[in-house]
């Protein structure tokens, strides 16, 4: 029967061409949207690698002040630690998690190198973000006097530079020594990829960057106001800005979610258009093919056979469109376009195919049912 339907559709390809193009276009858009969704969801399933609840980032800007800035900063750190609301404090470079700031550099070892995000932090960074060590340890302030500067890397960097070797105690090309390995570190939020990360002891303490602090639960905006006021009086002429990491995380999420939502809406409209087109074309088709339906019923087709035929015809049309779409879609995983894992594209292809077939089935169901109810004696007499 399928062979018969393929022949029938092929012989009517001229009248189905527009529909095939429309389904093809929907497939391509769906493939794009599904790739984006699959990529983001795949990332989302991977843990961040750190805790951000109750963590604030304080951005201090010296402006024109050049007098004893290091001392002032040390006093500020001491003051912040003294608040009963504050659990942990750390100083780090400006690229704190969820900020829109990034620093990266090529890290190399022997003949291997990887582009890695670089974070300069003090010894308390691990505690503020509750980072779990996978192996080794976090660096200490006492490490500042070591001959080889200690660094912590994430597993992604370890995989790139050391493969299956244990990186602990190994030296990099610039004589820095790996003292610890952590698992993930997704500083741009759950929807982003787990990129290679590299942590280095900030020594001597910089007067730039940020202070990150972990607060006790229940700490609210009143404390923020008090903190800003206190710091403002200690750092005259400086700019003090406090950000909640939960808010910054939401901003990062929006960056990933907005394109997904926009493309999903576009795909939704396109699918609605296809659905209406399919529905209309089938209704017209059935009206034009009443005689054929009558003949088939006379030749032994049951109501179910007729209904199945019209649904199957739509599947055949959809299959033609999908096959053309696949010629384009399979280039993406094959050529690893946009540097995404090929699995993302394969999943997107499968999802797009399922959605197209689902849509076609839903649209074809009602008109096909009407076709099945046509009385053969009446239509044969009419024609």
User: Which residues here bind other proteins, judged by CB under 8 A?
Assistant: 1, 3-4, 7-8, 11-12, 291-292, 294-305, 375-377, 380-381, 383
Q: How far apart are CB 330 and other proteins at their closest, in Å? A: 30
Smaller CB separation from other proteins, 1 or 221: 1
Q: How far apart are CB 371 and other proteins at their closest, in Å? A: 14
Smaller CB separation from other proteins, 62 or 289: 289
Rounded CA-CA distance 92/71 in Å is: 17
H or E element, residue 36? helix 13-45
Q: How far apart are CB 382 and other proteins at their closest, in Å? A: 10
Smaller CB separation from other proteins, 39 or 320: 320
H or E element, residue 325? helix 303-329
Joined tokens for residue 243: 């950000």
Q: What separation in angstroms does the CA of 371 have from each of 7, 48, 293, 319, 362?
A: 20, 55, 7, 22, 15
Phi first, then psi: what are they for 146, rounded to 5°?
-65, 150
Contact 155, 182 (CB under 8 A): yes
Residue whose entry in the numeric block shows the structure tokens 């700019």: 239
Cβ partners under 8 Å of residue 310, min gap 6: 282, 285, 286, 364, 367, 368, 371
Joined tokens for residue 249: 């995380």
Q: How far apart are CB 366 and other proteins at their closest, in Å? A: 19
Q: How far apart are CB 292 and other proteins at their closest, in Å? A: 5
Rounded CA-CA distance 181/375 in Å is: 75
Smaller CB separation from other proteins, 75 or 383: 383
Q: How far apart are CB 365 and other proteins at their closest, in Å? A: 18
Smaller CB separation from other proteins, 11 or 233: 11
Smaller CB separation from other proteins, 229 or 288: 288
């Amino acid at each position: 029967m399928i062979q018969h339907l393929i022949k029938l559709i092929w012989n009517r390809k001229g009248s189905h061409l527009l529909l095939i193009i429309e389904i093809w276009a929907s497939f391509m858009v769906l493939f794009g949207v599904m790739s984006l969704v699959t990529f983001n969801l795949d990332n989302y399933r991977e843990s961040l690698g750190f805790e951000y609840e109750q963590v604030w980032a304080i951005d201090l800007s010296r402006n024109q002040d050049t007098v004893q800035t290091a001392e002032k900063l040390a006093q500020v750190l001491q003051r912040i630690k003294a608040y009963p609301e504050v659990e942990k404090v750390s100083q780090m470079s400006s690229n704190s998690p969820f900020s829109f700031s990034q620093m990266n550099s090529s890290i190399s070892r022997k003949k291997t190198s990887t582009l890695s995000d670089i974070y300069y932090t003090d010894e308390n960074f691990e505690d503020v973000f509750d980072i779990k060590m996978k192996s080794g340890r976090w660096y200490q302030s006492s490490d500042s006097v070591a001959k080889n500067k200690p660094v912590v890397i994430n597993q992604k960097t370890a995989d790139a530079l050391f493969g299956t070797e244990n990186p602990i105690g190994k030296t990099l090309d610039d004589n820095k020594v790996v003292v610890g390995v952590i698992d993930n570190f997704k500083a741009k939020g759950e929807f982003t990829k787990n990129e290679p990360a590299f942590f280095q002891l900030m020594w001597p303490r910089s007067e730039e960057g940020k202070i990150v602090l972990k607060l006790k639960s229940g700490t609210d905006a009143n404390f923020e106001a008090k903190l800003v006021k206190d710091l403002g009086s200690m750092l005259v002429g400086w700019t003090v800005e406090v950000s909640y990491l939960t808010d910054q995380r939401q901003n990062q999420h929006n960056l990933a979610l907005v394109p997904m939502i926009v493309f999903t809406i576009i795909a939704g409209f396109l699918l609605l258009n296809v659905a209406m087109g399919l529905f209309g074309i089938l209704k017209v088709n059935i009206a034009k093919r009443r005689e054929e339906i009558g003949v088939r019923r006379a030749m032994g087709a049951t109501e179910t056979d007729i209904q199945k035929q019209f649904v199957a015809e739509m599947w055949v049309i959809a299959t033609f469109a999908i096959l053309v779409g696949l010629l384009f879609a399979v280039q993406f995983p094959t050529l690893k376009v946009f540097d995404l894992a090929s699995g993302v594209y394969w999943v997107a292809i499968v999802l797009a195919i399922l959605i197209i077939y689902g849509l076609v089935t839903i649209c074809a169901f009602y008109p096909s049912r009407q076709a099945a109810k046509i009385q053969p004696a009446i239509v044969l007499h009419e024609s």
